[in-house]
Amino acid sequence: MALLTPEDLENINKQLQEADSTVRRVTGLDIKGICKDFYGTTPCCEKVGIVPVTSGNGIIGSFSESLNAIAGYFGFDSFITDMPDVSGYYEAVKNGARIILMADDNTFLAHNLKNGKIANNQPCTGIIYAEIASRYLKADSKEVLAVGLGKVGFPGAAHLVQKGFKVYGYDADRTLLEKSVSSLGIIPFNPVSPEGDRQRKFSIIFEATPCADTIPESVISENCVISTPGIPCAISKELQKKCGVELVMEPLGIGTASMLYSVL
């Protein structure tokens, strides 16, 4: 399990603002607008308690502070507890938190204590990046390439299938690829070495791997959108510029917004 680093989270507000303007250009709506439209919810200053967690690899510098900034950006009234772990949870509830945000090395959750709704970062991230990709205003077809079909990618790809897209997909893990083919009807397509003459270009690409350079130039159509929560980035800056790619990529905020709106 790849953990976020303080370097990933540097200038989180700026990263979020830049991602927001890309999302607006790509879809016509900002991140708030997409979450509101998709989940049918609107924040009403709900109090969010952010609890640092010390288990496993421990507290990540600026993780809680980044969540606090993100929650504020999306209109939530948030605070970080002084204490971590169970004591922090107790402190959050005692101080009136309606939603708890906390993460260990495996699970990052949002739990609404009033209505019982709970969200996991991985499916929420996959679904919202897929939703953004699906709304690309300049898409030339309803064909999508989905690369990386793990805990984030699989729910995202499933969402695209459910929305009626023809999803071509690839995962380096053969078992995961076969599961996506049999349970979602995904069409196997290895972007790096497509079989025979099946080379294709896509105007919508959804990527969720922990690897760099997973999307080669050969599959990118002019001005395509790549919507990718994957860290590090799926394409180099040079390739992004050369192909005029609209890149939706941000390390924490879009997925957290999806979690928060989903539990309202």
Instruction: Check residue 109 for interaction with ligand 2YH (CB under 6 A).
Output: no
Instruction: Check residue 124 for interaction with ligand 2YH (CB under 6 A).
Output: no
Instruction: Check residue 52 for interaction with ligand 2YH (CB under 6 A).
Output: yes
Give the residue, chosen from 38, 73, 76, 108, that forms a contact with ligand 2YH under the rule CB under 6 A: 108
Give the residue, chosen from 12, 53, 100, 208, that forms a contact with ligand 2YH under the rule CB under 6 A: 53
What is the identity of the amino acid at 204? I
CB of 97 to ligand 2YH, least distance (A): 15
Instruction: Check residue 128 for interaction with ligand 2YH (CB under 6 A).
Output: no
Instruction: Check residue 121 for interaction with ligand 2YH (CB under 6 A).
Output: yes
Residue 169: which of ligand NAD, ligand 2YH, none does it interact with, CB under 5 to 8 A by kind?
none
Instruction: Check residue 65 for interaction with ligand 2YH (CB under 6 A).
Output: no
Instruction: Check residue 68 for interaction with ligand 2YH (CB under 6 A).
Output: no
Residue 59: which of ligand 2YH, ligand NAD, none does it interact with, CB under 5 to 8 A by kind?
ligand 2YH
When CB distances to ligand NAD are compared, the closest residue is 150
Residue 60: which of ligand NAD, ligand 2YH, none does it interact with, CB under 5 to 8 A by kind?
ligand 2YH
Q: Facing residues of 78 across strands?
A: 48
Residue 171: which of ligand 2YH, ligand NAD, none does it interact with, CB under 5 to 8 A by kind?
ligand NAD
The count of other CB atoms within 10 Å of the CB of residue 88 is 22
Q: Let me know if 44 is exposed, middle or buried by CB neighbors in 10 A (0-12, 13-18, 19+).
A: exposed
Q: Where on the chain is the footprint of ligand NAD (CB under 6 A)?
A: 2, 121-122, 125, 147-153, 170-173, 176, 208-211, 214, 229-231, 251-252, 255
Provide the binding-site residues for ligand 2YH, judged by CB under 6 A: 1, 3-4, 52-53, 59-60, 63-64, 103-105, 108, 121-122
